[in-house]
Amino acid sequence: MDKKQIHRELQFKAMRSSGAGGQHVNKVSSKVELTFNIPASEGLSEREKQRIQLKLKSRLTNDGAIVLQCDEARSQHRNKDLVVKRFFEILKNALVVPKKRKPTKPTKSSKEKRLKSKKMTADKKASRKKPDLGK
């Protein structure tokens, strides 16, 4: 993953934020929308592209682009920084390969411990019964 190349490929669009804010919100385009086309990217290898498309399937558009929006701050520059930071965090998490699980058997002591615990529970429950007075 070539971060500098990916950063150059990002496309930004500024628009007006929604919600409350008075006069300021009606005249300032502070909301930022980030678009990144994964299949057309030169900063990612083919393997990375496949992994991202598989992991982020639900977040992608039909043409394989990821679109993020940010309108948390009042400043367009701050929103741009936030959305870029969030984008790279999402990419990093999508590229993490989980460690392969090695199947293991329970140890002898853990088996004994489990059986001892079961026996204690059984004895506890048996002691709650009414005594059988020899019918």
Q: Render pLDDT for 107-133 as a digit per residue (tens, 0 to 9).
A: 999 999 999 999 999 999 999 988 777
Please name each of the domains of the chain with its CATH number: 3-94 (3.30.160.20)
Which tens digit of pLDDT belongs to each residue from 17-58?
A: 776 666 766 677 888 999 998 888 888 888 988 998 888 888
Query: Would you call 62 exposed, middle or buried from its count of C-beta atoms within 10 A (0-12, 13-18, 19+)?
Result: exposed
The CA distance from 20 to 15, in Å, is: 15
If phi > 0 it is left, if psi is from -120 to 50 it is alpha, else beta; for residue 69 that is beta
